Structure formats: structure tokens, C-alpha cells
Chain A
């Protein structure tokens, strides 16, 4: 299946989970994730099945006002 991770296309095996996608992306040490604009807690990465066309967001701390 094809997904978007932070707007970049990635190909994943069928039945991949969010945990599988994170192995492909190699996120920073501190991050959080959302799929299709829904937050996914870190405890649910391994159970969260992805679907073709899913939009995954991986975010990390930055400076802010």
C-alpha cells in the first residue's frame, strides 16, 4: 500500500501498522504521531493498522512563541 508520511510518499506492505511505518521513517527520539488527523498514542502504534492512502504525521518539538 501507499501512504504519505509528512507528505512524502512511502510504500508499505499490506496490513502494515503504524509501528511498521515508523521503522521506515526513523523518527527522532522524541515525537508524536497522527493518522488522518487523528492522534495515535504511542501505546497504540503496534495495533494501529494502516490503509492505502493514509496520511501519517510525525511531529517533534521545536521552538515556539
Chain B
């Protein structure tokens, strides 16, 4: 379902307009049919995909997924998941550009295998190389303000800070830093990784983040299709709330019903 408000408020990335503010991963679903149904329910702006070695005598393994991507006709955002060096990232990105016929790349440069934290010390130079090579880079990064600023400085027109480590479903674990990041940077910010509940997605959208990228929270739900719809609704609700301008919290109670004319009420 796409609301009229969504069309009036598109997500703009590298000059391209997207009606949805939800980006969806394609891994870990119980079946390809469930993935397809979840995508049709969520109507995401982009679908993430990856590349892996194809063994001999198993040529059909990747072809079914390829056919599904063609049928869904949602823009593909290839990732560089599993890359630990800039050279691995660059080569994987170039291979992805040829396979998926797209300049978009989700830059993942892993620095720690346990937390899957990005290699923040080498991420900026890696992004710079990709941008110089013509890619539209969406870097997966931490919520570190200076890191994100440096990514913007080298030409990233959007950045994708994590809310929590990939697949943890913990929601935003560092709200102060994320809200500060939102306050300080003017480029689109996509929360990528760590969201577990629609309320997490709604919360970061209320804070003014521009979109969310999800995978595990949908794929591992008992009903991934319904959860995909719940996340899509939550993202729309959070965005609408952000645009609506929330009231400021007050220290004291304020009656919402007028006091004037209250029956049976006497001044002593």
C-alpha cells in the first residue's frame, strides 16, 4: 500500500526518487515464495543482494534467485558483505556492477567478525575509491559523527549508520549519538542493521532518519509477510510523525479536557 503522502515525500538518493523509505534484505527467509510475498507486501525502495562463488555442477543455485529479482522488478542494491579489505570491496563492487547492471553499491567493509562492525579506519578511503570509479555508494557504518561526516566529505550522498550490530534486533543502542548525527548531518541517513521491531523503525523515523534497511527482523519473524507489512506501516508512521512536528514533553500534567465549567467542582 502506498499512501498519497508517500508520493509527496519521496526518498531522494543521488538524485533518484523512491516512493518507499524501506529497503529490504533478501536473506534468511524460510522460502523464496515467502521472500517474494514479503517484498510484495512491503513494497520496498530497493532490495539488497549479494554475490558468492558458484561451484561447478550447481549452475541453478543462483539462477532461481536471479529470476525472482527480475520478476519483482525492484531496484537492486548489491552489497559487499564479507569483504575485509578495500581491494576485496572494489573487486566485488565491480563484479556486482556488471552482474546487476547497476552503479548502486552497499559498501560493507568488515573490521570485526564477532560484531560485524565496519572497519571505520579504512571505510572512508574505500568509499572514495568507489565514488571515483562511478559508483553510487551507500556505506554501512557506525553512528560515529566524524566518520559519517568524512564519508560525506569524500562524496557519499547518503550514509547508513547501524542501530545495533547486524542481526541482533536490539534496536538503536546509542540514541544520543544517533540523534546527534541526525542533527549535524544534512544528507539522507538510512538506518541499516540492528532493528528488530517495527517500533524501532518508527522511532528512528520519528527522529528524522530518512529510511531504514531491514532483513533479519522480517525474515526471521514467525510470519515474515505480516512483519514486512508491519515494518512498512511503521516506517510510514514514523516519517509522518517527524514531518508533523511532535509536541515538546512537559514536566507537569496538563489537562487535555477544559477545566472551565467542570461540574460538581467547588473552590474552597
Contacts and interface: CB of A to CB of B under 8 A. Distances in A.
A61 B78 CA distance: 9
B98 A61 contact: no
B91 A61 contact: no
Contacts of A8: 55-56
A64 B50 contact: yes
B25 A65 contact: yes
A3 interface: no
Interface string A30-46: 11111001110110000
Contact of A28 (B26, B60, B98): B60
Given A8-B56, A30-B63, A65-B216, A39 B95 contact: yes
Contact of B54 (A39, A58, A65): A58
A63 B49 contact: yes
Interface string B116-132: 00000000000000000
Find the residue from A8, A60, A61 having the highest chain B CB count within 10 A: A61
Given A28-B61, A39-B94, A62 B49 contact: yes
A52 B3 CA distance: 59
Nearest to A41: B98
B100 interface: yes
A34 B63 contact: no
B53 A58 contact: yes
Interface string A13-31: 0000000000001111111
A30 B99 contact: yes
A30 to B, nearest CB: 5
Interface of B: 25-29, 35, 48-57, 59-63, 65-66, 69, 78-79, 81, 87-88, 90-92, 94-96, 98-100, 166-167, 215-216
26 contacts: A5-B56, A6-B54, A6-B56, A7-B53, A28-B59, A28-B60, A29-B59, A30-B99, A31-B99, A32-B98, A37-B87, A42-B98, A59-B53, A59-B95, A59-B99, A60-B51, A60-B61, A60-B62, A60-B63, A61-B50, A61-B65, A63-B26, A63-B27, A64-B49, A64-B50, A65-B79
Given A26-B59, A64-B78, 15 more contacts: A6-B55, A29-B63, A29-B66, A30-B62, A32-B94, A32-B96, A39-B98, A59-B53, A59-B99, A60-B52, A60-B61, A61-B65, A62-B61, A63-B28, A65-B81
